[in-house]
Amino acid sequence: MGQPQKPIAAEQQILSLGRVLQCLREEDDVDVLIETTISYLKEQFDYKLIWIALYDRLNHILFGKGGITPDHDTSFLRQRVVLSPGDLLEQVVIEQHPLGVADLQTEIRAAEWRKIAQKFQIQGTIILPIRYKDRCLGLLLLGSERWGYQLTGEAKACLMMVLGELGAVLSQNEMVLQHKQTKRTEEPLLELLENLRSLTNLNQRLEAAVQATHKFVSPSRTNVYWFEREGRYFWCRMSNQLVKIDRNSSTQQAAGMTVQELSDFYYALTVNQIVSIGDARSSLKSHFTAKLLQRLKVRSLLAAPVIWQKNLVGFLAVESNEPRIWTETDKNFVQGVAGLISLVAPAESMETTIKQIQEDAQLTSQVAQGIYSEHDLQETLHNCAKRVLVRLAATRFLLLQFDPEQNNYQFIYQNQPHNRRPLTFTLHTLKELDGQLLQRSTQAVEIENLDEDLRFFNWRPSLLENGVRSLLVCKCTHEQIPAALLVITHETHRSWTTLEKELLWAVSQQIGVILRQWQLHNRTTQQQKTSQAFEQCLRILTQSQNSKIEVKKNHLERTALKQIASILGCPLAVLLSWSPGESWAKIIPGVIDNSQFGIFSDASIPIQAEALIQWALATESYLTLKVDDLPPETRKWLNAPDKGQILVMALRTNADYETTGVVLLADYQERRWSEQNLSATVTLISQLAWWRREKQITRLLESTTEKLRQLNWYKHRRLEEIQRITAHSLRQIHDLGIPANELTQMRYQLLLRQLDHTVTSISGMLKLEHWQLHMSWETMPIASLMKRSLERIENLVKQQKLWIGVHGLGQPIQEQSPNNSSLTKGVPTSSPQSSMAIAGDLVKIELVMHELLVTACKHSQIGGRIDIWCRRLNASKKVDANHSTASVAADHQTSLELSITYNGAIEPQLLTELHNNTPKDVLAASNLDQPPGLHLLICQNLMQELGGELNFYQLPDNRVVSRLLLPLVGHDS
């Protein structure tokens, strides 16, 4: 199949191909080109059916141009074929690749050609595209009576060369034809420009533009529509049918078309986009296209915007009553005429524009004067608002400021006509997208129709409810969240010009500077207020306090709470107070300035069960929470509105000291206090904690001092009476004389000497130690000290059945049992160790030694053992690793170490508190407040004053050690 009718030589085939290619290159007539191609195909190929058709891209149609058939009837080969989806011919046109059909009679995708194939017994068919570059210009159909569609390589090559040359010539002819048919826009536009230059009236110029456009495009009618910003509607200002239409005309075309009706059409024009609606084509969305054509009562529309200084002035529209495809030439011409109209349109209002620019400059200069003038802020804003409202033909002038404590925008100034009420609501903080919109904006943000615009969505309900339908928004500052906003509103849907928006932007920036100064002034005022609060609280310390006077009770707390509440502006401030060791807190009211709050001041609050107190104690600094979060138990003594906010903070001084209260501040609405005010509040609350602690310590010390003075006075007077009675008895004994019996006389004299010594010591104490201790300096051998100390506890040792061992006095360890008659037999009296002497106030040292031994006896188990270890220590010798101090003594004096060890029960907390380096909370409950801890602490402090040391610790085997260091008498003493 596909072979030549009769074999010919290769030279003849090449010559025939060359001739047809040359003919195709030299011919311009399309019909001749088609005939030449058909003749070549008929001569060189054995096909019974040949058909050539040209493709119309715009209408997606094939136009038959002729061919050959078996019966020589070619009428149907010149018919128009509309391509449909799934058609064999459409597939070739779209894919631009040859397609073969083995039997055309059975091909269901070629319905019409199938009938023809059956009529002429056509089977094998080849459909080839006639193309040039990437454009399909037509197609060639070759049909044979044989089955199949295979072509030899040489035949295929010749066929592709002929079709390629035909496609190139057809493409060139099409371009030439389009160029001839294309209308030239330069000359009509230049002619129109010349006419516009000679005309002086805007309506005359519009008329000339309309006539020129109508003549060039030839639509059904041509109109110029003008845009009215106040009211947001278009009216037909000029038409080729009704010339010089007035905006008040009652004709259908002069009647306004609102922006709401035009919608997408309007927004396309505002971005300088030409709108084209033709036969099955539209630059707008399909659902709106039908609505727009119905509104204008046309079937085709071409509109170009008239824009001056980025503002939409109107648009030029060519309208057709029939479906029409607008060419690029039509679009370019209409767009060019619209551009010429935009150039001549401002001339009508040039004087008014110049005057307006002068007034705008004057307005901005007057606002700028407010920056450095001494006028009040309200007066400056009032003068500015009046002129801005008149200039922009607006209804309201609103100045908003963001309140970080309330997390919303509040009106700090507003101006409106006398017949409008001021706005009383607040506006929520901006959504993230709206905040970013304002942050990036360099001019006023315009909302022409608040009902439809989704920007500032969370403001819409409040604004719409108060009659706002359009608005301009300008940021006055450049923070992440704009702290101040200037808003201009109107009660109807409208738009503003670029000049008006630029004017408002300039005004807003100048107002931002004024607000910045005002904020600095307010900040200075707030700092002064905080400083006064600190000064007032410090003044409390200089005022005399008397806790016994009921009128001045808790004066410190009440005054401090008032100052703290004034910093945060809270209507409620109370203190939940308790003393260390207590389980219940009492309420100290400071400020209750709002009827929405109520405090049951007589309530006793359990510290461990109250959630507010526990939350505050668990928080290192302050804690803020909502009233809704409070449990029902707290709401029993605290009455507050549900939307209120609470701040609590514990009174802390040191990590080792107990907390003695919680400050509670509350407001009737949710707030976000500034960091500066919170910092000042935290400082004052911390200072209050220290003041309360110092006050409590002072009260405790005063009370303790008073009790000790009473005790000292009582004991001193008793000792005086004992001394008087004892002295009187001695005088009576001396008056009786000495007994005659020698043995009785000896014992009598011994007892008299003891009584005389006792009376003398009591007299010395009464004379020298009335209100303070007197430190004397005496010496005593260590053996005598041990002997005297053991004698004083002899009865206690027998009662407890204790064993006492004395070690380190130069003899083997001597153990004294309770069965022995005396404890002093084991104490050596003549060894070098026992000859050591201690120096100091011996009476007080003996009392300390006695206290230590009594404590050891009382804490030892019955039948237990007490060991007393003695050793001499040099000043440079270090203490054992188990000892609590780092060195033996601070001076260079030799010391004696006495260690009393015993097995017994002692509280670990008492040992910890007796340690010198352990911090002690004066106000907290302690084991040192009562015996035996109190007595041991007194002994410890007394030994420090005597130049010695006294420490307590526990060995790993649980033995308790009382370690006493005493200064020894040197060799040169």
- Given a cut of 50, whether residue 251 has pLDDT beyond it is no
Kindly write down the DSSP assignment for every residue of 657-688, as one continuous string.
Answer: SPP-EEEEEEESS-----HHHHHHHHHHHHHH
Cα separation, 212 vs 189, in Å, equals: 8
* Lowest-confidence pick of 198-202, 587-591, 749-753: 749-753
- Given a cut of 60, whether residue 814 has pLDDT beyond it is no
Report residue 318's pLDDT band, with 50, 70 and 90 as the boundaries: very high
**What pLDDT does 304 receive?**
93
- Given a cut of 50, whether residue 47 has pLDDT beyond it is yes
Cα separation, 950 vs 898, in Å, equals: 10
Nearest to 422 by CA among 466, 458, 475: 466
Q: Is 550 exposed, middle or buried (0-12, 13-18, 19+ CB in 10 A)?
A: exposed
- Given a cut of 70, whether residue 829 has pLDDT beyond it is no
Cα separation, 842 vs 777, in Å, equals: 8
Q: Could you check whether the bond before residue 932 is cis, i.e. omega within 30 degrees of 0?
A: yes
The whole-number average pLDDT for the span 875-887 is 42
Q: In this structure, what token pair is assigned to residue 585?
A: 């807190």
**What pLDDT does 717 receive?**
65
Q: State percent of the chain over pLDDT 70.
A: 83
Q: State percent of the chain over pLDDT 90.
A: 10
Instruction: Say which residue, 731 or 372, is predicted with more confidence.
Output: 731
Instruction: Say which residue, 513 or 815, is predicted with more confidence.
Output: 513
- Given a cut of 90, whether residue 901 has pLDDT beyond it is yes
**What pLDDT does 325 receive?**
81
The whole-number average pLDDT for the span 21-37 is 82
Report residue 348's pLDDT band, with 50, 70 and 90 as the boundaries: low
* Highest-pLDDT range among 96-100, 192-196, 277-281, 519-523: 96-100
Q: In this structure, what token pair is assigned to residue 662?
A: 């919680």
The whole-number average pLDDT for the span 206-225 is 90
Report residue 553's pLDDT band, with 50, 70 and 90 as the boundaries: low
Q: In this structure, what token pair is assigned to residue 423?
A: 């706005």
**What pLDDT does 869 receive?**
92
Query: Do residues 566 and 580 make contact, with C-beta atoms less than 8 angstroms apart?
Result: no
**What pLDDT does 880 receive?**
43
- Given a cut of 90, whether residue 157 has pLDDT beyond it is no
Instruction: Say which residue, 599 or 247, is predicted with more confidence.
Output: 599
- Given a cut of 90, whether residue 39 has pLDDT beyond it is no
Cα separation, 953 vs 948, in Å, equals: 17
- Given a cut of 60, whether residue 862 has pLDDT beyond it is yes
**Secondary structure of residue 233 in the 3-state scheme:** strand
**What pLDDT does 544 receive?**
43
Instruction: Characterize the bridge pairing of strands 99-101 and 257-258.
Output: unpaired
Query: Do residues 828 and 810 make contact, with C-beta atoms less than 8 angstroms apart?
Result: yes
Report residue 210's pLDDT band, with 50, 70 and 90 as the boundaries: very high
The whole-number average pLDDT for the span 747-754 is 77
Cα angle vertex 84, ends 82, 90, to 5°? 90
Query: Do residues 212 and 337 make contact, with C-beta atoms less than 8 angstroms apart?
Result: yes
Q: Which residue pairs, CB below 8 angstroms and at least 24 apart, start in 379-387?
A: 380/514, 381/413, 381/415, 381/511, 381/514, 382/415, 384/507, 384/511, 385/413, 385/415, 386/415, 387/363
Report residue 253's pLDDT band, with 50, 70 and 90 as the boundaries: very low
CB atoms within 10 A of CB 407: 14
* Lowest-confidence pick of 355-369, 435-449, 676-690: 355-369
Dmax (CA) of the chain: 190
- What is the sign, positive or negative, of the torsion defined by CA atoms of 309, 311, 314, 319? positive
CB atoms within 10 A of CB 60: 13
* Lowest-confidence pick of 507-516, 581-590, 644-653, 708-717: 708-717
The whole-number average pLDDT for the span 231-260 is 67
- Given a cut of 80, whether residue 929 has pLDDT beyond it is no
- Average pLDDT over all residues of the chain: 80
Nearest to 471 by CA among 505, 444, 497: 444
The whole-number average pLDDT for the span 782-787 is 88
Cα separation, 904 vs 958, in Å, equals: 8
**What pLDDT does 179 receive?**
62
| Residue at 101: amino acid letter | V
Q: In this structure, what token pair is assigned to residue 114?
A: 């199938």
Nearest to 968 by CA among 870, 882, 901: 870
Beta bridge partners of 140: 52, 128
pLDDT tens digits, 62-111: 888 889 988 888 888 888 888 888 888 888 888 888 888 888 888 888 87
- Given a cut of 80, whether residue 296 has pLDDT beyond it is yes
Report residue 900's pLDDT band, with 50, 70 and 90 as the boundaries: very high
**What pLDDT does 548 receive?**
40
**What pLDDT does 317 receive?**
93
- Given a cut of 90, whether residue 944 has pLDDT beyond it is no
Instruction: Say which residue, 3 or 51, is predicted with more confidence.
Output: 51
**Secondary structure of residue 453 in the 3-state scheme:** coil
Cα separation, 900 vs 897, in Å, equals: 10
Cα separation, 567 vs 532, in Å, equals: 10
* Lowest-confidence pick of 88-97, 122-131, 554-563, 677-686: 554-563
Q: Tokens 């409040």 belong to which residue?
A: 462
Mutual angle of helices 153-181 and 30-44, in 10-degree steps: 170
- Given a cut of 90, whether residue 473 has pLDDT beyond it is yes
Query: Do residues 666 and 644 make contact, with C-beta atoms less than 8 angstroms apart?
Result: yes
Question: Under 8 Å CB-to-CB from 531, ≥6 apart: which residues?
Answer: none
Buried b (16+ CB within 10 A) or exposed e, 658-669: bbbbbbbbbbbe
What are the backbone dihedrals phi and psi of residue 608, each rounded to the nearest 5 degrees, phi first? -75, -25
Report residue 359's pLDDT band, with 50, 70 and 90 as the boundaries: low
The whole-number average pLDDT for the span 134-153 is 85
- Given a cut of 70, whether residue 822 has pLDDT beyond it is no
Report residue 919's pLDDT band, with 50, 70 and 90 as the boundaries: low
**What pLDDT does 826 receive?**
47
Cα separation, 463 vs 426, in Å, equals: 10
Nearest to 416 by CA among 364, 457, 468: 468
Cα separation, 320 vs 198, in Å, equals: 30
Q: In this structure, what token pair is assigned to residue 125?
A: 């068919």
**What pLDDT does 879 receive?**
43
Report residue 868's pLDDT band, with 50, 70 and 90 as the boundaries: very high
